[in-house]
Amino acid sequence: MPKQKIDRRVERTRRSLQNALSELILEKGYEKVTVQDVIDRANVGRSTFYAHFESLDQLLLSGFEPLRAQFEDFLSGAEFDHESPWALSLTMFQEVQKQKGGYITLTHVQKFLYGYLLDHLKGQLPKRNKNIPPELLAHYVASSFIALMTWWIDNEYPLSAEKMNEIYRQLVEPGTMAIMMT
């Protein structure tokens, strides 16, 4: 079944809302943006907003849906070995810089990353490993990544994505590898 043609109006409405939100976030930060702000800026009726999205959160996520899909593709395609997670992190530093989305979505990225890491770590960790629960390790690796990313965004990208990735790797890899091998 070829996908239904989408009514121009819904297309227009959705875009307007996404753009409005995006602008407002840059102006005053996601936390302070209200539905009212968005629909005023987008010139969209209140009821219309709720016809399309359950909440601001949903609207926000909808904007990153393409990125998320791409991210998922990348993950499912990649082989997990000793190298790939670091290659992945580089890609993500680069992507996030492009997006200018800010750190609002980092929470979601973190969940995603955590799930991915956990899946693969469970296979890799020696079963009898008494050192560290895989959940904790995954949590740590994902959190560290988000931490660096947060700093990077807050400080408005003072270093290159490549440099950030290098630092991330230098900081996190040694301890991670060591604790996995023990």
Partner DNA sequence: ATGTTTCTGAACACCGTGTTCGGTTATAAA
Partner DNA sequence: TTTATAACCGAACACGGTGTTCAGAAACAT
Please give the size of the binding site for a copy of itself, defined by CB under 8 A: 26
Under rule CB under 8 A, residue 176 binds a copy of itself: yes
Structure token pair of residue 174:
């040694």
For a copy of itself, the binding residue among 29, 115, 126, 158 (CB under 8 A) is: 158
Identify the DSSP state of 158.
-
116: Cβ contacts below 8 Å, ≥ 6 apart: 75
Distance CA 26, CA 29 (A): 6
Nearest distance from residue 145's CB to a copy of itself, in Å? Answer: 10
| Residue 94 makes contact with a copy of itself by CB under 8 A | no
Which H or E run contains 89? helix 84-99
Identified binder of DNA from the candidate list 26, 27, 28, 46, rule CB under 7 A = 46
CB closer to DNA, 40 vs 81:
40
Angle (deg, nearest 10), helices 161-181 and 84-99: 150
Which of a copy of itself, DNA, none sits in contact with 139, Cβ below 5 to 8 A by type?
a copy of itself
Site for a copy of itself in 27-46 (CB under 8 A): none
Question: Which of 52, 139 has the CB closer to a copy of itself?
Answer: 139
CA distances from 102 to 77, 107, 166, 168 (A): 26, 11, 21, 19
Kindly state the smallest distance separating residue 172's Cβ from DNA, in Å: 37
Residue 107 beta carbon to a copy of itself: minimum distance, rounded to whole angstroms: 13
Backbone φ and ψ of 123, nearest 5°: -70, -30
79: left (phi over 0), alpha (psi -120 to 50) or beta: beta
Residues lying near a copy of itself in the complex (CB under 8 A)? 131-133, 135-136, 139-140, 143-144, 147-148, 150-151, 155, 158-159, 167, 170-176, 178-179
Residues lying near DNA in the complex (CB under 7 A)? 5, 7-10, 12-13, 34-36, 43-48, 50-52, 55-56
